[in-house]
A and B are shown apart, each in its own frame.
Chain A
Amino acid sequence: AQSVTQLDSQVPVFEEAPVELRCNYSSSVSVYLFWYVQYPNQGLQLLLKYLSGSTLVESINGFEAEFNKSQTSFHLRKPSVHISDTAEYFCAVSETGGGNKLTFGTGTQLKVEL
């Protein structure tokens, strides 16, 4: 069975500063990796995904994540955050051949301050 660890439950950061949200996973088989964002009282929005190909994936709003198989990590980064990035971020994994069953981390609350 797979598992996901997000060590940081909360990350405070000032606006325009860089941020990294950490995600590590454990699985006995190959995996696909995802980052989702949740704003208050809303559902989850897909931020970016790694299914295959380049290990560096980017989103349209400036976030990027790099799949590191040797370190079993998929950390999320943004070089300069904005107030509107304040939200909860979830890392998720699914096993290849396992269909759409996602296993989520516990989430990281990103709080961007002025």
Chain B
Amino acid sequence: KAGVTQTPRYLIKTRGQQVTLSCSPISGHRSVSWYQQTPGQGLQFLFEYFSETQRNKGNFPGRFSGRQFSNSRSEMNVSTLELGDSALYLCASSPQGSTFTTYEQYFGPGTRLTVT
């Protein structure tokens, strides 16, 4: 099976702009989670989607949003970009069933976002 893919791999944006990142999970995986990785804050959970519904959310401002499509692909959007949003954004998929139990997550290579 192909792994988790993320596009684009690298992105440079200007403060105030918005950005959309895309994630395609492993075939058959229905849960997609997003994480932000920075040198200062480390790895932080953004949100999780399952069957097109957000069912877990981290402590990030409303500028960070996401969605999931019927084919389980997911996008995250960051509006009004700030310098502090520069980070590696990681997507992870999980072979989760309909019950809210934990399974292992498989990560993509990430999208490196630089805000100037």
Contact = CB atoms under 8 A, between A and B. Distances in A.
The answer to whether A and B assemble together is yes
Interface size class of A (residues with CB under 8 A): 20 to 34
A88 B94 CA distance: 22
**Residue from A90, A95, A99, A100 whose CB has the most chain B CB atoms within 10 Å:** A100
B90 A101 contact: no
A29 B61 CA distance: 27
A100 B31 contact: yes
Interface in B19-49: 31, 33, 35, 42-45, 48
Interface size class of B (residues with CB under 8 A): 20 to 34
Contacts of B96: 99-100
A102 interface: yes
A42 interface: yes
A44 B106 CA distance: 8
Nearest to B50: A99
A51 B43 contact: no
A102 B55 contact: no
Interface of B: 4, 31, 33, 35, 42-45, 48, 50, 55-56, 58, 90, 92, 94, 96, 100-110
